[in-house]
Homo-oligomer: A and B are copies of this chain.
Amino acid sequence: MPLLTDAGFPDLSRLVSPRSVAILGASERAGSVGRDTLVNLAEHSAFEGAIFPVNPGRETVLGLRAYPAIAALPGPVDVAVLCLPAAAVIPALHECAAAGTRFAVVFTSGFAETGAEGRAAEAEMAAIARRSGMRIYGPNSPGLSNINRRLGLTFSPVFKDDRLGGGIGLVTQGGGLGRAFIQASERGIGTGLWCSTGNEADLTMADFVHHMVNDPDIAVIALLAEGFRDGPRFLAAARAAARAGKPVVALKVGKSDYGVAATRSHTAALAGSAAVTSALFRQHGIVEVDDLDELIDTAALFARAGLAPRRGICVYSFSGGTAALAADMLGSAGLRLADLAPGTRAGLGALAPSYAAISNPVDLTTEVFSSDTLNRDCLSLVARDPGTDVIVLPVPADYGPITDRLARDIAALAPDSPALMLPVWMSGHRARGHALLNEAGLAPFRSLGKALTALSRLIWRGNWRPGAETAPPALPGLPDGDLDEATAKAVLARLGLAVPEGRVVEDPGAAQEAARAIGFPVVLKALVPGLLHKTEAGAVAVGLADADALEAAWQRMDAALAARGHALLRALVERMETGPGVEVMAGLHHDPVFGPVVSFGLGGVMVEALGDVTHRAAPFGRDEARAMIDEIRGRALLGPLRGQPGADLDALADLLVTLAALGARGDIAEMDLNPVRAGPGGARVLDAVILRAATDSQGKERP
C-alpha cells in the first residue's frame, strides 16, 4: 500500500501572504470584530496589497472605500475575511465562492461545537469548498498571524504587539493558548507564522503543517492540537516534515476523559486515544510535550539547536548544591554527563581554585564572584571540550552585578560555542542578567526539570530515524464470513504465523484420536458460534494429561455449555504448549482518528493488570516492530534474563509486520492474538480472534 504523498495538500501561499483581502463586515464600531480586524490589517500590519472593506451600509470604513458586496469588487481577491454573525456566514461563503475568492477566513463561532445544526452548516461549508475550489479557514478561528511578513488576519486586540518573528511556525485550533505561545516573544522567542484552524470545516492542521514544511522561513513546527479531523493526512504531513528534516513539536489535548469531553465541546474535534496518539507521534518523529510551557521551550530549543545529534552534557555552575541537583536530575532523566577531556580538566585546574570541582559537574564555587575572568575563561574551555555537546548552566540565584557578568559571559560565548549552551534561571528574581540572556536569544529555562526534559526531547529527535520501509509480506486472501478460533488459526498459519498443532473434532472419540496423534498433554477448546468469554463459560480445558482427563473434560464442557444454552458440537484439540516463553499480545484495530493501528504488549492477564501496551499506525516494517517490542515496560521479561535465552524477537517482529500489512489491506476490522507465547523457538499464537471488516460493520458484539 503506497503511503500518502504530498500531492494531496493545497498551496496555501496566497492565504498566508495574500495580495488582496476583502473584509466582510468591516465596521467602525468600537470593539467590533469588523473594526478590530480592519485596524489590524490596515494599521498594524505592513500589508502592501489591496484592502476591500465590504459593508452595504457605508461608502467608506475608516477612510477606505467600502463595497456593498463582494460581487461588487473590481475582481477576485486572494482572501475574504468574514466578520459576520453565524447566520450570515453560509450565504456570504456562497457569494465569495461565486466571486472567485481563493480563501475565506471565518472567525465566527457557534457551529459544530454547538450541536447538529452547526455540524450541518459546516458540512455545507465543506461542500462549498469542494465544489468551488475556494478553501475555507475556520469557522470558530481566531485568525492568522504571519508575523515574519507582519500581516494579521485577526481581530485580536493585542496583535499590534506581535512584532518578533522567527523560525517557529505555530499551528493551533483555538486562540487563547496560541496567544500565550506568541507572548513568549517577551523572552526573545519569536514565532514567524501562527495559523489557528478553529473547527476545520475544510482546511485542517495537516494542511498548515504541510505548508510550513515548505516555508523556508520556518525551521520548527509547533502544534497545539485538540483533535484531528483527518489522522492519516496529518501523519502524511508529519512524514513530509521528517523528510524535510523539520522537527514537529506537539501538545495534544485529550489524554483524559475530562479533556476529551472538554475538547468535543470546544472545537468539536475527535480526541482519539491518547496512548495511540502518543505512540504514532513517536513513530513519526513528532516530539510530544505535556504542557504549554514545554511546547514553547522545546520549539524554541529546536529553533536554536536544530537536529544535530548530541550526547555528552556538561553541568556547569558556581554552586555545588545546584551542580549536584542538576547532575542528579540529568541522570534520572537518562541523560549522560560527558567525560571532560584531560586537556579541558587541566585547563580548568590551572584556572580554578583548588576546592572547585573541575570534573563534570563543574562547580567553580563563589570564586567566580570575585574574579572578572574566571567564569569566562573556564566556560570557554568547556565550550570547546571535544566530548561536550551541550552545557547546562543553572543559575540558582540572582546576585546582581555578579550574575549580570555571568550572563554576559554566556551571551558572549554562546554564538561561537561548538557546544550548545542551555542557561537555566532558577530564581524568581529576574534582573539584568536574566534580560541579557533573553536578549541574546538564549531564553533561559525556568526550572532544571523543564530544561532537562526539553534537552531529552532534543536528543531523542536528533537520534530518531524513520523506520525503513520494507515491502509488505505477500498475504493470501481471507475466507468469507465469520472465523471461529480454528479457522482464525488456519488463516494465521497460511499467513506464516506459528500456531499450536491442532485438529477440529466433533465427538469425544475423535478428540481422543486427535490427542493421541498430537501427543498428550492437550488443550480442548469448544468451537461454539457466538460464544464470548470462552474461559469463563467453561469452554476451555488445559493440561489434559491423558485420555481419561480428555474424556472427563469433554463431558464437563458439554454440561457447562448446555447450562448456557449451547451445545458442544465441534471442538479444537491442540498440543499443550509448555517450555520457556512469555505471554504477549498483538492486536489490530481501526482507530477512529488514525485508521489501522497495531498494538503490542504483555499478554494474558498482564495486559489488563499492567496496561503495558504500545501502538503503531499500519503499515510498517521490521524496524518499527522492533521499536515496539523494545518500548514496553516489561521488555526485560522477553529476556535474555538470568542466563536464560530470550524470546525470538525476529519472529515476534515478523508477526507484528504481518498484522500491520493486514491492517493496511483493510479486510480485517479487528484482530486479537492473546496470548502469543514468545519463546526462544518463536512466537506461537495460542488464542486468536479475527473479525472481518464486513462482520464489524454489522455492529456485532466484540469479545
Contacts and interface: CB of A to CB of B under 8 A. Distances in A.
A253 B180 contact: no
B176 A256 contact: no
Interface stretch (A6-14, A395-403, A407-415): A395-403
A158 B402 CA distance: 11
Given A255-B329, A259-B331, A319-B177, A608 B642 contact: yes
Nearest to A255: B332
A266 B321 contact: yes
A257 B331 contact: yes
B397 A605 contact: no
Contacts of A447: 291-294
Contacts of A317: 176
Contact of A186 (B109, B179, B429): B429
Contacts of A158: 397-400
A185 interface: yes
Nearest to A605: B641
A243 interface: no
Interface stretch (A211-219, A630-638, A654-662): A630-638
A342 interface: no
Taking each of A176, A189, A263, A369, which has the highest tally of chain B beta carbons within 10 Å of its own beta carbon?
A176
B322 A177 contact: yes
A67 interface: no
A609 interface: yes
Q: How many copies does the complex hold?
A: 2
Interface of A is mostly: helix
Interface of A: 31, 109-110, 114, 157-158, 172-180, 182-187, 189, 224, 226, 251, 253-263, 265-267, 290-294, 296, 317-325, 327-332, 337, 355, 357, 361, 363, 369-370, 396-400, 402, 426-430, 446-449, 536, 605-606, 608-610, 633-634, 636-637, 641-643
Nearest to A86: B355
B608 A173 contact: no
A371 to B, nearest CB: 11
A430 to B, nearest CB: 7
5 contacts: A174-B322, A262-B327, A291-B329, A292-B447, A292-B448
A320 B318 CA distance: 44
Contacts of A426: 177, 180, 292-293
Given A291-B329, A428-B187, A429-B186, A175 B319 contact: yes
A324 B266 contact: yes
Contact of A258 (B291, B328, B427): B328
Nearest to A161: B429
Contacts of A256: 327-332
A176 B321 contact: yes
Given A187-B428, A608-B642, A255 B331 contact: yes
Contact of A318 (B31, B176, B182, B329): B176
Given A110-B355, A158-B397, A255-B328, A189 B263 contact: no
B328 A174 contact: no
A394 to B, nearest CB: 9
A428 B323 contact: no
Nearest to A610: B634
